[in-house]
Every structure is written in structure tokens, then in C-alpha cells.
Structure 1
Amino acid sequence: MRKTPMKQLTQCPAQRYVEKLNALRGGTPTRLLIDFPARRYVLHKNKHTEKLSKEVSEIIELIYMQLHLVKIDEVRTMVLETMRALAHHHQDKVLNSLLMKPLPFDKDTSDLWRSLTDEPSYSCKVLRFLMVIINEENELTLRNSLSFTDDQPAAALMPLKATCAIHEVLQAASSHAAIQELVPALFCTLLAEVSQTLGRRVETATFSSRRRRFRRATTLGDLNPCSLAVDALQCLLSFGNTQMASVKGSDETEGWTLIKNIERHHEGVMQITRGLIVSKGELIKDVVHCLLPSLSSDSTTWRVTGTAVFVELMGHRILRGLKLLKKLVKDMKRKSLDPNYAIRSMAIRALGSVSYGAPDKSESSWADGILQRSVRVVI
């Protein structure tokens, strides 16, 4: 009977894995292919899945710690392939481990997220997971969300990290047609994140001491959470064939600049919505229903954002086709009494758009009556 060294029996897969990574820093791709038992351990799911699941977080951290030291492209590709295999078999643990990485994402963290886009179907799974993280966190904060006039609170880090991860995945998976079906849901999720990070700062934090010496000096105070969310939203709207047309008569970038301005946020949202109506009416149809709850939200910022979208839609045939016009007219009548001045102004404008653009006299007369009563109340 062959004797097995005690060290081999007691050594965990993660320990063997990091030893191989350390040994391969100056190695060759050929050596990697021939002598990498830890990698084979990770990739054989049927035999080791249950045992390995307890060590996933440790292995991800080891990969992250060593990845920047790997200089050979072929070796780096193999290391990322190992991480991708882990993600396929232990999705939640891998993604949660990646979400623990600090902001701003460095090149290694970005590469780890981008490595998950090799298959369109799995890219969709990752995006759905990240949307759940953002939506669940924002549901909690929306209940007690602060208004524009409040002092700037800190933006929640987890939804912001998930937003940055979505940005990385979308950039790497730009050719995946399967992701097109998620564009409407992603639009609503990212627009909500833009709203929730408007005028907020990032919580102060420090980098891990084990990683600090390898990082360029970047402070979280330099980050603008709203800008990160807007960048992700812009990436989404340029994804595949959803490129947003510029708004006629205005600078193409003006809407994206205004949307980050706490005082003129609603103007930016209206300009972007106007562009989407021109270039991507089908997308607007798909997002209307998921944006309806924003009109009754407890968050002032989310009410402003949602109202700004519907202001541009009120005189458009999209709402009539969806049979939502009368419901939204009643909603706008209530909005004309909102405590927020921007919302009240937009509600009156929306009612005026319906009155002016109504296709028949009966509908125009009905809208006129509501508009006149609302104006009298506001005045």
C-alpha cells in the first residue's frame, strides 16, 4: 500500500491552490497545464463541490491577492478560468465575495467581473443577481429616504458596488443578444440607483492592509456615487441597438450632465426620456409599468425622477396604447399638491400636455377640467 504524506492529507485545496499560484508567478504556460492539481480540484465539480463550497471565499481572496502578480497572459487567463468555474458551481458565494471588494474597482476586480461573461445565459444570471441586490437594498432605504433639502447622507455601498459590477458586465458582454431582454429591468434598476445616490457621498473606508501596498492612491472621497450610477445607465443605453438618439435642439450630453445636478435633476431626466421616445419607443413601453410605483414613493428624489419620466410621456401615444392615460392624469392631479415644488410644476405641465395633445374633444375637455381645478388649488 502506497504511503501518503500527512501534509498532503491535511492540506486544504485553498492552501494547495495558493502554493501553486505562488510557484507559477515565474513559471510558463506549459508548466501551468502540466502541474496544476489545485486547479483540477476546483474544476471537477461532481467530486468536490460540497467540500469546496466551504472554501470558496478563501479561494477568491487568494486569486485576487495573487492575480496582479501574474505577468503572463496565458497564465492570467487560466487563473480567471478557474474563478469562472467556481462561479458556475457556487454562484452566490462567488458573487458575494466579489461584492466585498472595495471601491473603486481596480483592474483585477474588473477582470474578475468581466470573466463571468463567457456565456450569455450566465451573464444574465449574474445581472439578475446584481439587480436583486440593488432593488432589495433600495427598498429598505426608500422607506426613510431623505429629500433634496436634507444634508447629504452617505450612499449605501452594496447597491453602489452592484451598480459598478453591472457596468463591468455590460461592457464585457456587449455582443450578447440574450441580455437584450433584461434591458428594461436594468433601466429601471439603474435609474432608481441614480435617484438614490443623487447628492450623496461615499462612506469612508480603508483598503485591506494586505492589498494596500499594491493599490494606487485613491480615496473614496473622490468618488461621486451618482456619477458611477449614471455611467452604468449610459452604458446600458448604448448596449446593442439601444443607442439613445440626441435630443433635437439640445446638446447631446446636456441631459447626462443635468441628471447629476441636484437642483436640475428632473430636467436631465426629461431630456433623456425625450431622446428615448424618439430612438427607442419599445423600451419606454416596457419600462412604464415598473416605473409606476415611483409616483407614490416615500422618497422625494424617486418621486421627482418618476414624475419627470411621465411628464414627457403624458402627451404621447405610448400611454394611450397602454391604456394608462386616465390613471396617470389622476396621479398627476394628486402630484399637483405634492410638497415638492419641482413635482408640483411638472404635474401641471403634464396635465397641460394632455389637454393640448388630446386626440378628441371629449378627452380634451375632461383633461382641461382637471387642469383648471389643479391650477386653482396650486395658486
Structure 2
Amino acid sequence: MVRQNAVDCLHTLLCIQLRYAGFAPDHTDESLTRLKGLHSGLHQSDGQLLFRTCSEIGQVIAKCLPQDQLSVLLFMLFEGLADPLTHCSSAASVIINTLIRVRGASLGDQVPEVLEVLHIRLQSISQEQVKASVLQTVSLLASQNLSAVISSLLTYPLPFDKQMAEMWQSLAGDTTLARKSMEFLTEKLNRQLPYDEKRESMLRKNVTRFATLQPLLVTCALSELLSAGESAEAVSVLYPHLFSSLLSRVGSSVGVRLPKDPPSNYVSKERRAQSRLPKTLDVCSCSVEALKALTARGKDQEVLRIMNEEGGWDLMKIPESHYRGVSILARAMSRHGASHLSSIVEQLAPNLSSPYEGQRITVAAFFGELLSHRVTSDLVLTETLLSSLLPCLVDTSTVVRMLSIRGLGNAAVGASLKIHKYSTNLLSAMIAGMDEKDDPDDLITLEAMSGLSKVLAQLEENSVQPILINIALRIRPFFEKDKDEVRAAAFTVFGNLSRFGDGQSKADFVEQIHSSLVSLLLHLNDSSEEVVKACKFTLRSVAPLMGSENISAMFRKHLLEEAILHYGEFINDLAKHIISDFPEKINFYIMGNVSFFKSTWPEIRGNAVMFTGFLLGNLSQEEVQSVSLEHVCGAIILLLRDGVPSVRIKAAEALSLLHEL
């Protein structure tokens, strides 16, 4: 009876409204007639029937209610959402949704106020059915006022509370709305400044980066949307676009601090007190979590597994290891996400020209790792990736240049069957990279040498012959670099060149071997095990070209990678073979050793004077005439005053070998 009286009252009110609108007393309105016919459904207790009845009542109201009364009615109905009677709160929610479905487009200016009331109501609603209906209200409102709804939701403080997270997730309930919402948010993300830079003082070079609030909010909003299972269908359509946007966002978040307090005009006075971000919130972690959520929603379970097992997500958050985490992600995507790679590469490529170093580092690392996998060749991406990375060789960032060199070298692995097509550009890039001046940690030099070795391993003789000697000359200065890794890499490259040394340039290359032999032999007793292994490899590689079977056999026997070498005995025996097989080179080798008497490394000075002593000690009276003995002896005597006892001992031993000369 109460329900029937309520509908009758509503009918009377709407009739009065028609009279105010100027209709005649006998005017018949179809909607009001339909309202009268709902009496029978009001007596039923069936939930579905009551739902349909309330929905029809809402449609009648939506059609008849004047625009200036719509918002008043809505806000009164919002009060009913918290009614303790289940049927009342449910009826209120059904009518609200019906009104918004029909008339929601006209509420544009009132969207923030509506959302604020709904956010408050969600905190007190205990009935799941009503709660779901309220979240549907948000979804319906967004489907008609997308920009206004998203802009309003982005004014709420971080981290989002449970109710706000649910409101964001409600946008994923409809596939079309989910897709439009994600497109809207990613467009915002790509368009806005990711951080502000503040110099600590005019005299200091250190710059602190503070995240701007809007992109941070957008990132968290995307994370919430992607966490909703209903977003899967929209994600399947937008995956490359979302992936490239979020990966770029991660790149511009690394090492970025939380934003300072938001401007006073950004949020309402009521909400300003809540707007101070908690210190536990991490800018980069928010971005990584959004990317991780995308990977999960995109059903890339194998990518997730690899990233989790190898710690890729955590590596991405740390500035020093960020590019390593990105490389792991690229490797995982090349194996298990190949269907998306062409579109992802296309969308990421413009970010190599980004004004933000972090984004350029991220994309260079991603592209560089892709080039080491055959799938990029299969997808015809090699040329695109190479042409994208080549301009980065002059980037202002050392890390970007290093990653670009690494990527170009990786092309020899991923596109080995097509390497001849790119060999000229790749070799030029590697040689130029070795001469990098602004490279204090030798990162670029090391990558250039590593890449050069990879490229050389895939090329035929005719591709390398024209520049063989040039490469040999360029590599020699690195034999004496302070960094162990650089020396080892340089010796390894020289060893790899030996594969091309038996052709037209053999005579010239053999001269390069003789010029480098003293350095190779001295570093065979280097303090670095890595350098020792590199020298063993190179000496074994170049020996067949020297034309001495004795020396070649000696190197094959004693210079096995893991074998223990008795250095003194080895050098003594080698000196005898050198004297026997290369008599015209004796003075050349002795003077080469003398040049190392001023080495900064005591072990190399000791090795050099020992080698000199064995060479001189094994010469006959006739052979010694070709040596500048007085100069050499004077240099050895100077080493008797060396500051390192082991060097003085070896100098004395060398002089003792000369007593018969």
C-alpha cells in the first residue's frame, strides 16, 4: 500500500508539472499512463520484478522532470543510498542509474559534486548490491562525461583509498568505456611534463627531480584500471600503446622524488589537508607497478615469470641498474611477447629523441636487447632498430651512447644472416666508439670492443680486409689501459682479427703481430686473470700466422685457458725460439721490452726486464752485435733502484745472465 501511494503521489506531482509546463488539464501523457500501470508490480517481493518496476519509474521521471530539478532530485536520492531498509536503498540506486543513463549527459558541470557525494556514500554502504550499483553510477556518468569524470577523479589524493580505487576500477566494467578511459589517460600521460628540476644551489651541478602531480595520479589511475579483470578485452586491443606509454613513464620516473605540496588551486580546500603525499610512496614504484599490472592483464605470464625470477622489476627502479631491468623485460618480450613487438617498437622509437634522458636510456636499452634476438629479424625490425639507434651515438648521455653501441653490436647475434648488409655501418660505429673521449668509466669503449668482436665473428674476409690494419692500429693503444676489462677486451679483439690475417693483408698483419707480441707476452703474467685469459687466446690465435712452427706448438701446448703457466720457464724457452726463428727481430723485441721498463705496473716492469735478460742471455757473441747493448744495460741498471723489491730482484737476475757477453 505504501509503495502504491508513493507512485500515486509521484503521478500527481508529474501531472502538476505538466500543467506548469502549459499542457491542458485533459492532456494525456503516455509516460504517466505507463506509471499508473505499474501498480501490479509494486506488490511483488521478487527482486528482479521490483528492479524492473523501479527502472520503469526512473524512465518516466527522466522523461518528465525539468532540467533544473534533475540535480536536486539526484542529490536527494543519493541520501537514500544509505537507507537502512534494503529495498529503499536498492530502489534509490536503480532510479539514480536510470536517470543518469537517460539524462547524465546534461550533468557535465556537476560531475565533481556528484562524484564527491558518491565517494562519501561508498564509505558507509554495507550492502554489496547497492555498492555495485553506485559503482555502476560512476561508470554510466563516465560513459557520457568521460573527460569531466576522469579529471574530477584525478583531484583525489594519493594513495587512493579503497573507495576511490573501486571508482577507478568501475571504468573497466564496460569494454568501450575501459578503452576510451585508457586512451584518455595515456594521452594525458604522454603529453604532460613528468618532473620539475630544481638545482640545489647556483654553484652546485646536482639537480633534484621532483615528479609533477598529474602524471603521477594518471599512472596510479591506470594501475587501478589495469588491476580490474574486466579490463582484459580493452587491454588486448591497446596493449602496444599502453606498454610503450608505461615503459616510457617508468624511464622518466627513475630517480625522481615525490612532488612538493600541490598548488593551492589544484584541489578544494576540504581536500587540501589530505593532499600531502606519504613518504612511503615511491614515484618509480608506482610506474613499475602499472607496467607490471599491464603485463599481468595482457596474460603474458611467461614475461611476468622471467621478470620476477630475475628481479627485473626491482632493477628497473634503481637508476644504476635501470637499463638492466629493461633489458630483461626486452629479452622476455622477444621470447614470449613477439606478437606485440612491431607496434611497440613503432611507438617507442620517437622517445629516442625525448628531452628526458631517462626515457632515452629506457628505449635504447629495450631496442638494444631486442637486436640480440632472432625474432627481430623474423619480424623485419632489424633495420628499424638500427636506424633508430645510430643517431643515438651522438647523444649527450653517456649511458644512451653506451646502450646504442651495445645494441648495434647485438645485431651481429640477432641478425647474423643479414650482417653483411649492415657491416659497414656497424664496423664504423664500433671503431668510432673505441675512440670515445667523454667516457670516464670506459663504458662505451668496452661495449664497442665487445660489439666489434661480435661483428667480426659473423663477417667474411672480404668485408674486413680493407680496414683490417686500421682496426689493428686502433686497438693497440688499449693494451696498456689502466682498466683490466679494457685491456682484456682489446687483446680479445686483436685475437679475433687473426681470422682475417691470412689473406691479401697477411704481410702487414704479421707486422702488427710482431709489434704487439711483447705487450701480449708481458700481460700474459698480468695481475688480472681476465687479461691473462685474453692474452692466451690471442697468442694461440695469431701464432699460426707468424710462420714459426716451434712457437705455434709452444703456444698450443702451454697457453690453454685454464692451464697453470710457469711464466719464467715459458719466457726463457720462447726467447730461444725467437732468436732461432726471427733473428732479424731480436733487437726489435729487446727494445720493445725496454720501453716497458717505465710501465706503471711493477709486474709488467718485472716481466719486461726478465724477458730482456732471457733474450740477451741466449744470444751468441755474434748475435749480440746487433743489439744496442750499452743502452739496454743502462736501462736495466736503472731498474736496480726501482721502488718495488720484486722488480729490483728481476733486474739483478737479468744482469747476471749477461756475464758472458
Partners of 2:225 and 2:231 within 8 A in 1: no
Equivalent residue, structure 1, for 2:115:
60
Q: Deviations over 1:256-285 (max 9, x none)?
A: 111010122111111111111122112222
Alignment CA distance shift 1:24-1:263 (3 Å) = same
Equivalent residue, structure 2, for 1:234:
292
Q: Deviations over 1:136-185 (max 9, x none)?
A: 114xx59x9899x8523221221221221111111113563343021110
Q: Does 1:339 align with 2:364?
A: no
Q: Secondary structure at the match of 1:221?
A: coil
Q: Which amino acid aligns with 1:184?
A: P
CA distance in 1, matches of 2:135, 2:390: 55
Q: Which amino acid aligns with 1:258?
A: L
Q: Deviations over 1:203-262 (max 9, x none)?
A: 23488664699x8x98433211110010010011112422243687x9625111110101
Which deviates more from structure 2 when the two are superposed, residues 22-31 or residues 184-193? 22-31
CA distance in 2, matches of 1:362, 1:240: 37
Q: Which amino acid aligns with 1:89?
A: Q
Q: Which amino acid aligns with 1:111?
A: E
Q: Does 1:204 align with 2:260?
A: yes
Q: Which amino acid aligns with 1:245?
A: V
Equivalent residue, structure 2, for 1:189:
245
Q: Which amino acid aligns with 1:75?
A: V
Alignment CA distance shift 1:316-1:76 (3 Å) = same
Equivalent residue, structure 2, for 1:90:
145
Equivalent residue, structure 2, for 1:293:
350
- TM-aligned CA deviation for residue 82 of structure 1: 2.0
Identical-pair percentage: 26
Of residues 120, 123, 126 in structure 1, which corresponds to 2:178? 123
- TM-aligned CA deviation for residue 321 of structure 1: 4.0
Equivalent residue, structure 2, for 1:265:
322
Partners of 2:105 and 2:144 within 8 A in 1: no
Which ranges in structure 2 are unaligned for 5 or more consecutive residues? 1-11, 21-64, 200-204, 438-661
Q: Which amino acid aligns with 2:74?
A: Y
Which deviates more from structure 2 when the two are superposed, residues 20-29 or residues 56-65? 20-29
Equivalent residue, structure 1, for 2:227:
171
Alignment CA distance shift 1:27-1:265 (3 Å) = same
CA distance in 1, matches of 2:311, 2:285: 14
RMSD: 3.4
Q: Which amino acid aligns with 1:320?
A: S
Equivalent residue, structure 2, for 1:104:
159
Normalising by structure 1, what TM-score? 0.84
Higher RCO (CA-CA < 8 Å; seq separation 6+): 1
Aligned residues: 368
Q: Does 1:159 align with 2:219?
A: no
Equivalent residue, structure 1, for 2:656:
none
Alignment CA distance shift 1:230-1:79 (3 Å) = same
Q: Secondary structure at the match of 1:359?
A: helix
Equivalent residue, structure 1, for 2:364:
307
- What does 1:317-328 align with in structure 2 at a 5 Å threshold? 317-326=374-383, 328=385
Q: Which amino acid aligns with 2:361?
A: V
Alignment CA distance shift 1:270-1:28 (3 Å) = same
Q: Deviations over 1:296-320 (max 9, x none)?
A: 2222111111100111122333443
Alignment CA distance shift 1:378-1:89 (3 Å) = same
CA distance in 2, matches of 1:145, 1:359: 46
Alignment CA distance shift 1:372-1:135 (3 Å) = closer
CA distance in 1, matches of 2:297, 2:315: 22
- TM-aligned CA deviation for residue 37 of structure 1: 8.9
Q: Which amino acid aligns with 2:327?
A: M
Q: Which amino acid aligns with 2:229?
A: A
Alignment CA distance shift 1:56-1:363 (3 Å) = same
CA distance in 2, matches of 1:78, 1:135: 33
Q: Does 1:370 align with 2:425?
A: no
Alignment CA distance shift 1:362-1:116 (3 Å) = closer
Partners of 1:255 and 1:267 within 8 A in 2: yes
Q: Secondary structure at the match of 1:152?
A: strand
Normalising by structure 2, what TM-score? 0.50
Q: Please identify the structure whose Cα radius of gyration is greater.
A: 2
